[in-house]
């Protein structure tokens, strides 16, 4: 009889505990399960997005290796999709650079410029943005937009100081400022050191001296 009483007391205590904490426990279990499901769903979504972005990047690369108006249309379409639907993907910044190079090589300077301007404005990739600025300055130089080209070369990152100075010299020479161009190229030589590009810069200085 004592055993039955003891069991009853335990059951009563359990019921009392459940009445007090049961709803809270159920809520906590639901939250934990929802968090796990949500995390797995997010991982799947991220993987799916990355896979799709990679597909468009590969399509863009393939089109860049082809010729004709259809190839240009595919380059622009793939780049547009990457920028609009996958702007945060690592494939997008690289794809935009590929698109810009392909369009510039086809003398579509406006198209190349649009790609690079988007990358400079929207990408958070610290390695690619300085390269995009350098290439954008080159496109603007070809378009004779000298002031805008020089503006891209302000605040050069240390790793690009030599290349930026070299491009600045090109722009200054195009403006007819030979002395300033020489100064920029001499600065580039100091920054480039033993880099093979330094040989090209020296040839520019030598050509300027012989002009």
Q: Are residues 158 and 104 in the same domain?
A: no
Task: Indicate the burial class of 4 (C-beta count within 10 angstroms; 0-12, 13-18, 19 or more).
Answer: exposed
Q: Are residues 146 and 161 in the same domain?
A: no
Phi-psi category of 145—alpha, beta or left, where left has phi over 0 and alpha has psi -120 to 50?
beta
Residue 203, in any domain of the structure: yes
What mean pLDDT comes out for the span 182-195?
A: 93
Of 152, 171, 189, the last residue of a domain is 152
Domain harbouring 119, CATH code: 1.25.40
Query: What's the chain's length in residues?
Result: 211
CA–CA separation, 186 and 192 (whole Å): 10
The residue segments making up the domain with residue 104 are 68-152
Residue 163, in any domain of the structure: yes
Q: Are residues 147 and 72 in the same domain?
A: yes
What mean pLDDT comes out for the span 6-10?
A: 68
Q: Are residues 144 and 72 in the same domain?
A: yes
pTM for this model (two decimals): 0.73
pLDDT band with cut points at 50, 70 and 90 for residue 76: very high
Residue 36, in any domain of the structure: no
Per the structure, the count of domains in the chain is 2
Q: Are residues 145 and 167 in the same domain?
A: no
Residue 60, in any domain of the structure: no
Residue 145, in any domain of the structure: yes
Higher pLDDT, 56 or 138: 138
Residue 202, in any domain of the structure: yes
Residue 174, in any domain of the structure: yes
What mean pLDDT comes out for the span 165-178?
A: 96
């Amino acid at each position: 009889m004592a055993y039955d009483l003891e069991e009853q007391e335990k059951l009563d205590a359990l019921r009392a505990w459940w009445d007090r904490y049961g709803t809270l426990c159920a809520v906590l279990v639901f939250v934990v399960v929802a968090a796990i499901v949500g995390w797995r769903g997010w991982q799947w979504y991220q993987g799916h997005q990355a896979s799709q972005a990679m597909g468009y990047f590969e399509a863009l690369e393939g089109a860049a290796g082809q010729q004709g108006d259809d190839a240009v249309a595919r380059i622009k379409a793939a780049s547009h999709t990457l920028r609009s639907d996958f702007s945060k993907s690592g494939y997008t910044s690289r794809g935009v650079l590929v698109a810009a190079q392909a369009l510039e090589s086809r003398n579509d300077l406006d198209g190349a410029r649009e790609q690079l301007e988007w990358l400079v404005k929207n990408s958070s990739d610290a390695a690619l943005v300085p390269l995009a600025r350098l290439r954008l300055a080159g496109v603007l130089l070809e378009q004779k937009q000298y002031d805008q080209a020089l503006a891209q070369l302000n605040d050069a990152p240390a790793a690009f100081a030599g290349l930026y100075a070299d491009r600045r010299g090109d722009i200054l020479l195009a403006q007819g400022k030979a002395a300033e161009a020489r100064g920029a190229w001499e600065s580039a030589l100091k920054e480039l050191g033993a880099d093979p590009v330094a040989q090209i810069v020296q040839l520019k200085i030598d050509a300027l001296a012989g002009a």
